[in-house]
């Protein structure tokens, strides 16, 4: 922490609460419910707990606290403003709290401690919620009770880094950081949302605002929902990716390469600096890729001692990037820690996943993400990550591949495209992997059989349907889930064609509002919080997001590669030869594990009689894919993992 910076008290937490509009519970009953709901998310805040209730209006808040800076009673939550008007239960980090506090003190506000919680609640009392939200820079989810107006408001940060679930039933509103908090309330009986389950089979996660439970919603990023007297509900958007994109495209930066690079360096350096303030050990996830290497480099440039960096490696060839991470760490001079994970260690994580993610979630990189978080937590309490770089700076391979080949593919006669797709799919994955084995390693794509499968899918589509194909697992999921009608969300809304006309930018735009918060940020939040580790994401500072939309496309994709401007910044710190290689995901050899050490587990969960008795899925297509996968004819591990993760979750949470 640099000189002159106010020492702030920051916490990561779990929140929960309710408002009983029927006024049927005593203060003790309200507190007991809020406490039980908060205790259900103890892992998010193991250091302290608190409750608050207003029996006259049926409101109660619960809170669990993970201390990041000094733990003191002055920062205890739920917290009331000094004037007594506002009460807050808050989860998150506000990185500009010190400067906001100075302004509030000038306005006459008095402070008991140094927490960003206190800054938020005093700001809401002084400026009102709307003006406060305009000023906050951070990741957060909170509940605010206005004692004067008798209004409960739930708020989620702009990008959706921190989660918040809520449900409004007859006379009762319940909310919490995770679904398990809602399940802890005795007044609610969970019911399966089959429509959301169909969406899950397509996307391997449940897109917001839906959840696995009927009547329960995820609060959308940049949104608030309020409940006034007599339960009047109001939803409002205070920041949106749509408005950020429109404003950026209408005001493109007309600057040189050098000017763009200088602007990025200034902004991202500041975003990293703000996220390095902590009185507990702090480090960085380092994969050796562009995003994490850039964040680590900017951390090291601002630190007077080696930054602690962490990576995990696998014995399986094609899945281990630890050597690349170590090379970057050695060049930057970080204090680097590696964990080499055996297949057994990775497999041992699987029984923990249903509880960890709390609703069906099937991005298989959840396994290495948890292992990385678990290892990192043994050394530090806070870790910075590079999430968001692909969406902001066009890093996903599909962006420029679709742009490059989409028109040519669409020009091919449909029968020829279908023939090509059939020919690719006819060869088992092992054959494709064997054929690519003769390609020099530096030019060989990772997981070639998966890449060929994606190419087969691209041959079958055109226009935005190529994008739809690439983001889909089960292409007709409501035919798999009995009684379901898949809700078609933002990615199917044709209005987006006019909002973001450029196809690459449109994919970035859609991913930023769907895949990023629903998959990537959910994966990291649950995995890190499961071990009480706080993960901070500098690239998703909202100023970075707005800046990225002002950048013309040439600063993102150039010479057939994405993240051009981000690469140039990294090259100021790390030689290109340590970075340049084919993009890989944070993957595991799931396909072979399903055929091998996980086969008995799969056979049990995919048992035809069990599937039929549950009466949730049509067993036929599932059993066919399982048989084809086991035989090696096809690689269906993505589709099967979706089913397996639901089945494992359902076993823990029977309905």
Chain mean pLDDT for the chain = 90
pLDDT recorded at residue 399: 86
* 253, 123: one domain: no
pLDDT recorded at residue 304: 94
Report the share of the chain in percent with pLDDT over 90: 74
Q: Does 495 reside within a domain?
A: yes
Domain CATH for 547: 3.40.50.620
CA distance 319 to 615: 37
Catalytic residue of the set 13, 124, 205, 602: 13
Looking at 124, 157, 188, the residue that finishes a domain is 188
CA distance 468 to 460: 11
Label residue 3 by pLDDT band (50, 70, 90): very low
Looking at 188, 213, 232, the residue that finishes a domain is 188
CA distance 374 to 527: 8
* 274, 125: one domain: no
Phi–psi pair at 433, nearest 5 degrees = -60, -40
* 265, 142: one domain: no
Q: Does 215 reside within a domain?
A: no
Torsion of CA 168, 172, 174, 180, to 10 degrees: -100
* 645, 512: one domain: yes
Pairing of strands 138-146, 216-218: unpaired
Poorest-confidence range of 215-219, 473-477, 585-589? Answer: 585-589
Q: Does 530 reside within a domain?
A: yes
Mean pLDDT of 310-336: 88
Lookup: tokens for 191: 């019911």
Residues 94-98: contacts with CB under 8 Å, at least 24 apart: 94/119, 94/120, 94/136, 94/137, 94/138, 94/140, 95/137, 95/138, 95/274, 95/275, 95/277, 95/541, 96/135, 96/136, 96/137, 96/138, 96/274, 97/8, 97/10, 97/138, 98/5, 98/6, 98/8
pLDDT recorded at residue 161: 98
Q: Does 53 reside within a domain?
A: yes
pLDDT recorded at residue 230: 77
pLDDT recorded at residue 590: 92
pTM of the model: 0.90
Q: Does residue 9 or residue 86 have the better pLDDT?
A: 86
pLDDT at 613 over 80: yes
List all residues 6 or more positions away from 89 whose beta carbon is below 8 Å from its beta carbon.
Answer: 15, 16, 17, 52, 61, 62, 63, 77, 78, 79, 142, 143
Q: Does 113 reside within a domain?
A: yes
pLDDT in tens, 126-151: 999 999 999 999 999 999 999 999 99
Domain CATH for 94: 3.60.20.10
pLDDT recorded at residue 559: 87
pLDDT in tens, 389-404: 999 999 998 887 776 6
Label residue 443 by pLDDT band (50, 70, 90): low
pLDDT recorded at residue 581: 72
- Look at the chain and report how many structural domains it folds into: 2
Q: Does 233 reside within a domain?
A: no
Q: Does 216 reside within a domain?
A: no
* 164, 262: one domain: no
CA distance 519 to 360: 11
* 183, 313: one domain: no
pLDDT in tens, 183-213: 999 889 999 999 999 999 999 999 999 999 9
Label residue 449 by pLDDT band (50, 70, 90): low
Give the helix/strand (H/E) hosting 414.
Answer: helix 414-426
Whether 205 is catalytic is: no
Q: Does 146 reside within a domain?
A: yes
* 24, 127: one domain: yes
* 262, 411: one domain: yes
* 303, 397: one domain: yes
* 362, 460: one domain: yes
* 254, 393: one domain: yes
pLDDT at 305 over 90: yes
pLDDT recorded at residue 9: 45
pLDDT recorded at residue 6: 35
Host domain of residue 276: 241-655
* 175, 310: one domain: no
pLDDT in tens, 272-285: 999 998 878 899 99
Cis peptide before 209 (omega within 30 of 0): yes
pLDDT at 514 over 80: yes
């Amino acid at each position: 922490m640099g000189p002159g910076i106010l020492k702030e008290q920051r916490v990561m937490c779990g929140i929960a609460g309710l408002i009983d509009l029927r006024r049927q519970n005593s203060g003790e009953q309200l507190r007991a419910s809020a406490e039980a709901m908060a205790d259900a998310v103890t892992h998010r805040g193991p250091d302290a707990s608190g409750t608050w209730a207003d029996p006259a209006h049926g409101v109660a808040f619960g809170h669990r606290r993970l201390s990041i800076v000094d733990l003191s009673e002055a920062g205890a939550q739920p917290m009331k403003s000094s004037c007594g008007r506002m009460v807050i239960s808050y989860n998150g980090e506000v990185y500009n709290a010190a400067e906001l506090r100075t302004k509030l003190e000038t306005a006459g506000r008095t402070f008991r401690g140094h927490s960003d919680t206190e800054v938020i609640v005093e700001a809401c009392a002084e400026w009102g919620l709307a003006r406060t939200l305009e000023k906050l820079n951070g990741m957060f989810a909170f509940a605010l009770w206005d004692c004067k107006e008798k209004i409960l408001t739930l708020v989620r940060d702009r990008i959706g880094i921190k989660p918040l679930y809520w449900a409004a039933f007859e006379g009762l509103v319940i909310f919490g950081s995770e679904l398990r908090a809602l399940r802890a309330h005795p007044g609610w009986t969970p019911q399966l949302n089959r429509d959301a389950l169909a969406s899950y089979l397509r996307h391997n996660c449940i897109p917001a605002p839906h959840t696995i439970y009927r009547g329960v919603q995820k609060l959308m990023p940049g949104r608030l929902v309020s409940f006034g007297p007599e339960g009047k509900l109001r939803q409002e958007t205070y920041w949106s990716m749509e408005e950020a994109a429109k404003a950026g495209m209408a005001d493109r930066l007309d600057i040189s390469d050098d000017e763009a690079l200088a602007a990025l360096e200034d902004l991202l350096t500041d975003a990293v600096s703000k996220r390095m303030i902590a009185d507990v050990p702090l480090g960085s996830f380092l994969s050796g890729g562009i995003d994490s290497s850039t964040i680590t480099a900017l951390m090291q440039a601002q630190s007077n001692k080696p930054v602690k960096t962490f990576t995990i490696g696998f014995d399986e060839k094609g899945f281990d990037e630890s050597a690349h991470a170590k090379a970057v760490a050695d060049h930057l001079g970080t204090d680097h820690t590696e964990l080499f994970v055996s297949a057994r260690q990775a497999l041992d994580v699987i029984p923990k996943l249903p509880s960890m993610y709390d609703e069906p979630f099937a991005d298989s990189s959840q396994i290495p993400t948890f292992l990385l978080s678990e290892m990192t937590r043994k050394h530090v309490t806070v870790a910075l990550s590079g999430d968001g770089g692909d969406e902001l700076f066009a890093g996903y391979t599909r962006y420029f591949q679709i742009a490059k080949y989409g028109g040519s593919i669409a020009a091919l006669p449909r029968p020829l495209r279908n023939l090509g797709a059939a020919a690719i799919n006819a060869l088992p994955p092992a054959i494709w992997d064997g054929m690519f084995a003769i390609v020099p390693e530096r030019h060989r794509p990772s997981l070639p059989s998966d890449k060929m499968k994606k190419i087969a899918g691209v041959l079958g589509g055109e226009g935005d349907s190529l994008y739809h194909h690439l983001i889909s697992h089960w292409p007709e999921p409501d035919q798999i889930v009995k009684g379901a009608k898949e809700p078609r969300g933002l990615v199917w809304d044709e209005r987006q064609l006019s909002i973001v006309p450029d196809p690459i930018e449109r994919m970035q735009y859609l991913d930023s509002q769907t895949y990023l918060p629903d998959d990537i940020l959910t994966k990291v939040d649950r995995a890190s919080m499961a071990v009480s580790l706080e993960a901070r994401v500098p690239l998703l500072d909202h100023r970075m997001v707005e800046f990225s939309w002002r950048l013309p496309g040439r600063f993102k994709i150039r010479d057939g590669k994405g993240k051009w401007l981000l690469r140039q910044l990294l090259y100021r710190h790390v030689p290109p030869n340590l970075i340049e290689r084919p993009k890989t995901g944070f993957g595991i050899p799931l396909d072979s594990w399903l055929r091998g050490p996980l086969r008995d587990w799969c056979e049990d969960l995919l048992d035809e009689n069990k599937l039929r008795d549950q009466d949730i899925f049509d067993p036929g297509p599932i059993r066919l894919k399982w048989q084809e996968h086991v035989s090696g004819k096809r690689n269906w591990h993505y589709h099967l993992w979706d089913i397996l993760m639901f089945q494992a979750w359902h076993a823990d949470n029977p309905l």
